[in-house]
Amino acid sequence: MADRLHAIVGDGITALAFLETCLGQGFRHVTVIGRNASQLGRGIASAKGAEGAPWRYAYLLNSPADDIDPEFAAWLERRWDKIAETMAGRQPDWLSAAQPLVAAGDIYGVNAPREFYGDYMEARARDVIKSLSAEGTKVTLLNDVVVGLSQGTDMITLSTQTGQQLDVHSADIAPGGPDTMRFEGDDGPFSAPSVFGYEDRIAEHITAGAEIFCIGGNAAMLDVLRLCQSLIPDERLKFAFCAPEGEIPPPLVPRLPRKQTVPSLTQGHETAESFLSEIRREIEAAEAAGDERREIRAGFRSYFLETPLDQFIADTSEASKVSKVLRFWLRGGTRDTIFDMRRLVGAGAVRILKGRVLRVEATSTGAAIHIQDHDGSVSVEPTGFVVNCAGAGPGSTFDPLTADLISQKLIGLADGGGLAIGANCRLGGGEIRYLSPAVTKIGRETVAMPLYDAHMLRSYVSRSAKS
Ligand SMILES: Cc1cc2nc3c(=O)[nH]c(=O)nc-3n(C[C@H](O)[C@H](O)[C@H](O)COP(=O)(O)OP(=O)(O)OC[C@H]3O[C@@H](n4cnc5c(N)ncnc54)[C@H](O)[C@@H]3O)c2cc1C
């Protein structure tokens, strides 16, 4: 092992989790190549915000801190005074929203600003690098983008955007999820294709008093609401969103003492329908017993991490139907923002439309959104400014390296969507590991709940190292 060279592609939490698995491996040199590798651990979700921007620290983690990682929750608690100082006087008033939890001694339960999670991950990366260098493993962080990968007999060659070539014995690839799906007209004078990176443009319309209309009703839509709240008081807010289910996701509310639902499910199902009816029964029993969505979701997540879906239902195409439904049944979102959203719906400041957006049209004063409802009829909804928050879906594109690995047949396309990789996250002969939120199948296992979840990603990486 002593002479082995290893590379990690990516700079987010998955790349950092891969770096952690290098401890004790005796590599001579590990090179981490990411767009922003010098801030390893942040990735896209926990990027550092612009200094002085009103929306800096506005975007929150969707789950209580200890559901993301108990060690992060402890880190947050240790720094609470500093965090309270940073967050004082900001709009929306995060400290007031956190206050009931803080008063109950439950800092572990707050929805932390994602930038703080990035701070924690960066500090963690520094510690891991220190431990690796104490073991004699040199770590280099390279701000660059890998554009090609080829496998020779003994070595893997990575080529980068800046023209470097790196020969390594093994590599881990963590490039993040695919782009959000696009809609005709979503990047126009009154529309933006995403919230992230377009805040300045969206902010102009928010402060001018336009209605802000989100395509999609999940996490990114909740971020847009926080962006609006950071700029104008709630009394001036005009907000709308359209999603197929036409509902606000349930909030993930922590309670003390923490508990998790413990499902009891039988094995040997032949169809998704029979397994789903059992799961439905368990969810309803938990709800009847008073369990919160957080408890049910965390309980099922632990259960399926312990006992993968293929142990209940062997047919992979039936298993993929199960995971699609579970994604909806167990969905949940940021407590603070969903409480605000419910209040604002009650006050008439937020409208919710049910249906599928087809396209966006610019008008002389704003936008018109073409929406198809469940029986196929199309209506046209006028609004001020549209933000695409739809997330990954049909037509989304993968990053170029993933697209290349798919074309080399090192990564497959799973039944029912998403990426299929080998057991223990291995590709090809086994010297390459890969993991991203877009993965839905790992070896024989169809992932029961989506990997758009920091805890799940870290769990699968750590498991891939033990086997
Ligand atoms: C805005 C947002 C908010 C989220 N909020 C939550 C949340 O609250 N809770 C939760 O559990 N999960 C959340 N998620 C889900 C999230 O995807 C994961 O939790 C996690 O952050 C994903 O980490 P990652 O390292 O796999 O990918 P990413 O964070 O996407 O990092 C991948 C990185 O690799 C870089 N990269 C890609 N290709 C290359 C290449 N060829 N060469 C070099 N570098 C490359 C990318 O630029 C990117 O920075 C969120 C995701 C997003 C996008």
Residue 309 is assigned to a structural domain of this protein = yes
Q: Tell how strand 426-427 and strand 419-421 pair up.
A: unpaired
Q: Is 229 in the pocket of ligand 1 (CB under 6 A)?
A: no
Residue 258 lies in a domain: no
> For residues 396 and 206, what is the distance between their CA atoms, to the nearest angstrom?
28
Instruction: Indicate if 310 and 171 belong to the same structural domain.
Output: no
Q: Are strands 439-442 and 432-434 parallel, antiparallel or unpaired?
A: unpaired
Residue 122 and residue 107 in one domain: no
DSSP strand pairing (165-168 vs 426-427): unpaired
Residue 174, ligand 1, Cβ within 6 A: yes
Residue 467 clears pLDDT 90, i.e. is over it: no
- Of the residues 348, 369, 388, which one is the last residue of a structural domain? 388
* Predicted local distance difference test score (pLDDT) of residue 393: 85
- Counting the structural domains of the chain, the total is 4
Angle between helices 114-134 and 70-78 (to 10 degrees): 100
353 and 314 inside one domain? no
pLDDT tens digits along 360-409: 999 999 999 999 999 999 999 999 999 999 999 888 899 999 999 999 99
Q: Exposed/middle/buried for 338, CB within 10 Å: 0-12, 13-18, 19+?
A: buried
**Is residue 231 in some structural domain?**
yes
Work out the number of other CB atoms within 10 angstroms of the CB of residue 153.
4
Q: Is the CB of 60 under 6 A from ligand 1?
A: no
Q: Are 135 and 23 in contact (CB under 8 A)?
A: yes
Q: Is 323 in the pocket of ligand 1 (CB under 6 A)?
A: no
* pLDDT interval class at 1 (50, 70, 90): low
Q: Which domain covers residue 381, as residue numbers?
A: 191-250+333-388
Looking at the chain, how many residues does it have?
A: 467
* 418 φψ region: left (φ > 0), alpha (ψ -120 to 50), beta (else): left
Residues 288 and 231 in one domain: no
Does residue 128 share a domain with residue 41?
A: yes
* Distance between CA atoms of residues 37 and 174, nearest Å: 12
Enclosing H/E stretch for 407: helix 400-407
Would you say 407 and 413 are in contact if contact means Cβ atoms under 8 Å apart?
no
For the record, the structure tokens of 438 come out as: 């877009």
> For the domain that residue 359 is a member of, what is the CATH number?
3.50.50.60
The answer to whether residues 306 and 160 belong to one domain is no
Angle among Cα 4, 5, 10 to the nearest 5 degrees reads: 145
Q: What pLDDT does 57 receive? A: 98
Does some domain include residue 15?
yes
36 CA from centroid of ligand 1 (Å): 12
Q: Is 251 in the pocket of ligand 1 (CB under 6 A)?
A: no
* 356, 306: one domain: no
CA atoms of 193 and 220, how far apart (whole Å): 12
Check pocket membership of 219 for ligand 1, CB cut-off 6 A.
Answer: yes
Residue 197 lies in a domain: yes
Q: Domain check: are 360 and 217 in the same one? A: yes
- Looking at the structure, tell me whether residues 226 and 372 fall in a common domain: yes
195 part of a folded domain: yes
The stretches of 79-113 forming alpha helices (DSSP H) are 80-87, 94-103
Domain boundary among 329, 354, 372: 329
pLDDT digits (tens, 9 = 90+) for 209-242: 999 999 999 999 999 999 999 999 999 999 999 9
**Does 267 fall in a domain?**
no
* 129/51 same-domain check: yes
146 found inside a domain? yes
For a pLDDT cut of 90, what percent of the chain falls above it? 96
Q: How far apart are CA 392 and CA 177, in angstroms?
A: 8
Task: Dig out the tokens for 425 from the structure.
Answer: 């996250």
Whether 282 and 407 share a structural domain: no
Identify whether residues 277 and 308 lie together within a single domain: yes
pLDDT score, position 107: 98
Q: Which of 177, 191, 194, 175 is nearest to 59 (CA)?
A: 194
Mean pLDDT of 128-144: 98
Residue nearest atom 51 of ligand 1, based on CA coordinates: 45
Q: What is the DSSP string of 151-180?
A: E-SS-EEEEETTS-EEEESEEEE----PPP
Q: Distance of CA 281 to CAs 35, 55, 301, Å?
A: 46, 42, 17
Boundary residue ending a domain (352, 367, 388): 388
